[in-house]
Chains A and B, each alone.
Chain A
Amino acid sequence: MFLLELPTANLLYLVLYLATLVLHVVAMNYVVGGAMVVAGAAVFKVFRGYCDATQAIVDKIVDWLPLALGVTITLGVAPILFIQLLYKHAFYTANLLLFHRWMAILPVLIAAFYLLYLQKTNWIQQRAAFVRALVALGVLGMFLFVAWSWSENHLLSLAGEGEWVEHYSAARNWHRSGELLPRLAMWVIGALATLSVILAWQLRGRTTTAVVRRLAGIGITGGVGAAAAGAWYWTELPTEAKLAIRQPAHLVVLATAAAGLVVMLAAWGHMARTGRLSTVWLWWATAGIAVAIAAATVLREVRRYVALHTVDQWEPAVEAAINAARLQGFGVFALFLVINTLVIVWLIARVRSRLHAHAN
């Protein structure tokens, strides 16, 4: 298990990187999965009307997407900080090589943000179905572009100096790799699984059987689709990566991810049959997907470890992180992490209690 072989200083940053990345991924899944569902529904509506269940789901997503995007971006800031500590040379190099292509994610995200607000206005609700479909597809396209850029940047950062120099000399704007599509497919389709669970919590108490079955459909598509994309990814992995994943410790992580998915699928299967969102089963689904995401994030790091080893970038990266490691300031961070988490929890609780009071 490569994680356990790391020096302590490094491990601290890696754990923080992984933990904050998991949070980013959860929020990102709501954004990407949500945009897929909304776009799918909007296109469907151009040809045929849809039922109340779909409407309820779409309304909920459209209502929360702007916040979800804000949260995704904010939660992306923490891993982007820690990744610089751990792998700055590789990360910066990939950023620089992709240049305009990479920087394009920023205007695209600004545009997407305003389109999300546009989607919430009455004005757009009164436009023709195909106009709304166009907007929804635009939003989805933008998010897919951003997700793709992150995956592409990631793979380029792992490619090593030989590939970097070639990329630079040829003034390329794109980094092609057989891994890109399956990898992206795994993130994007898997997003539906996370989305289904978060939506279920949001809609709990106001669901019909039809809504539950729709949600189960979304969740099961996400889970099964991610597994299929994972199998496809396996066929594209270089031999060294396959060997590393076959090591017992890493196999345990893989099995954990699979178990998480299975639990989530089983929970959705059960709720679909009963047509009810039971709290207990919803917790199972939540735990399942959470475990699956965490384990997948660790496996993602195994891939990086193998890649950087292959191109002799691992040792220098570890050494650089050790040189930069320091404890001065950590206490302040830990203190405000706790305080500010409490502040956020408190303010949400306070607003909720006022909303309940208001509703009664």
Chain B
Amino acid sequence: MFPYYPINDFGPVMKGMVIGGLGIFHVFLAQFAIGGGMLLCYFQWRDNKYGDRLARRFVDGYFRWLVLVSFVTGALTGVAMWLTTIQISPRTIGLMVDEFHWLWATEWTFFCVEVASGYAFYRYAKILDGKTRLLLLQIYAVAAWMSLFWINGILSWQLTPGGWLEDRSIWAGFFNATFWPSLIYRTLASMAIAGLVAALVVNVASGFSADERWTLVRRVFWFLAPMALMPVVGGWYLAVLPADSRGWVMGGSIAMTLFFTLGAGASLLIGAYAIAMFARPKLFVNGATAAMLCVLAFAATAGGEFVREGVRKPYTVRHTLYSNSITNDEVAYFREVGCVTNDPYPLINASSYPTDQLVLGARVFRMQCSICHTMDGANGVMHLAGTWSIDQLRLNIAKLQYTKPFMPPFAGTPEELEALVQLVRWEHEGRPGEWDTSDDETVLRHIADSLAKAGTQSMIPRP
């Protein structure tokens, strides 16, 4: 039984953009919290070891920011990611929960440690001894990083499920090909983000003299030094990506290449500034520069998140579940039965379509295409294919996975396909009040032939 869910209309926005957009915020905040934990450990250690009072003042000043911003918004955007994923693709999150619930539950135990240690520090640090302060910060930092560890395995599994495909072993899925490079990359990114935000905070916080600012900024910039490893780890990540995904990043898909370049370029600029800082001991980063570098870090995060969401296409879980929530086996089934035949949810605005065929087309579009396309907004099918001839439309949709390999195969009957084609034409003509229903047997036979030729498998070969 295919699990039908009510599908919401996001207007002119592509659904993937919603996840990507929120994901950037969440990842940026979460990585800041992780790197921030490490940074605070370092400064508290300096306080304990050298009696560095400035370091201590920084910890007490900086941590309030960390708590207020990352605790609150980080935790809530985390829940928001979850609820948004349900909105976009309930079946994907359902599969992820089915496979990895124990690891997610494990991550949750680390959330609890984060809250306990973070809050204990926030509340009592001022009256605790140095050793206890450092212990609390260490526990906090480890717990925060461990939550990255767990979630990273689950997210990277979506792209490179590896051995899980053979035997459904969750450990084979968890420690997959992209697990280590993406974990290390994110750790480096966390440290860099924390360093940059700290440089900004030091500049805008009151209570530091110019000298003190200078000392602190130079210290926090050491957290950017590990960025030197990024090209290597990034290269490693690209090397273990599936060939098709790598191809899109390296020029195969304009959007993916653009986002990749954005991410890499922003990281390079930050890296260049860091090198300048290390090379010239007199150099200082003022508030404006720090803010600009933070914006660049945000851009790098944005590029990275969009690439991560994008390169999985046409799958949300590779070789298992297509972006439109249909599995491989279901494609063949829907070719026979029809993808919306048993869909209990009617169209909300069915009366605005002049014929039943167009209503059918709209339901097919909602089910199979709306996850990646709108009709005439972002990635609008009208703009992409409005000028195609009707036979071109029939043929190209019938062999959808060949038209663009990052689309899934069409999963419906010839009648459904023809309804979709009519819908695109009708939309292209400006939604006229009258429209002929097409039920020509030869056309349907032709479509059936094209569908049969295209087959029901994705273009992307399964290892």
Contacts and interface: CB of A to CB of B under 8 A. Distances in A.
Interface of A: 16, 67, 70-71, 73-78, 80-82, 84-85, 88-89, 92-93, 95-97, 99, 102-103, 106, 109-110, 113-114, 117, 161, 164-165, 168-169, 171, 316, 323-324, 326, 328-330, 332-333, 336-337, 339-341, 343-344, 347-348, 350-351, 354-355, 358
Contact of B132 (A82, A110, A344, A351): A351
Nearest to A88: B94
B102 A333 contact: yes
Contacts of A103: 80, 83-84, 87
* Residue of B80, B99, B106, B348 with most chain A CB atoms under a 10 A cut-off: B106
A336 B111 CA distance: 12
Nearest to A324: B98
A70 B86 contact: no
Q: Would you call the interface of chain B mostly helix, strand, loop, or mixed? A: helix
B166 to A, nearest CB: 14
A168 B363 CA distance: 14
A340 B103 contact: no
A109 B74 CA distance: 12
A110 B100 CA distance: 28
Nearest to A106: B80
Interface in B117-136: 117, 119-120, 123-124, 127-129, 132, 135-136
Contact of B75 (A73, A89, A96, A328): A73
B105 interface: yes
B155 to A, nearest CB: 16
Contact of B119 (A67, A82, A332): A67
A74 B112 contact: yes
A96 B86 contact: yes
A168 B346 CA distance: 8
Interface of B: 1, 3, 5-8, 68, 71-73, 75-80, 82-84, 86-87, 90, 93-94, 97-106, 108-113, 115-117, 119-120, 123-124, 127-129, 132, 135-136, 139, 143, 169-171, 344-346, 348
A85 B104 CA distance: 12
Contact of B127 (A16, A88, A95, A358): A358
A167 to B, nearest CB: 8
B190 to A, nearest CB: 20
Contacts of A168: 6, 345-346, 348
Given A350-B132, A351-B132, 19 more contacts: A73-B76, A74-B108, A77-B79, A81-B97, A81-B105, A81-B108, A95-B90, A96-B87, A110-B72, A165-B346, A169-B345, A328-B102, A329-B102, A340-B109, A344-B113, A348-B120, A354-B124, A355-B124, A355-B127
Nearest to B116: A344
Contacts of A70: 71-72, 75, 115, 119
B111 A110 contact: no
16 contacts: A67-B119, A71-B115, A73-B79, A85-B97, A97-B6, A99-B87, A168-B345, A326-B170, A329-B171, A337-B105, A339-B109, A340-B112, A351-B120, A351-B128, A351-B132, A358-B128
A164 B103 contact: no
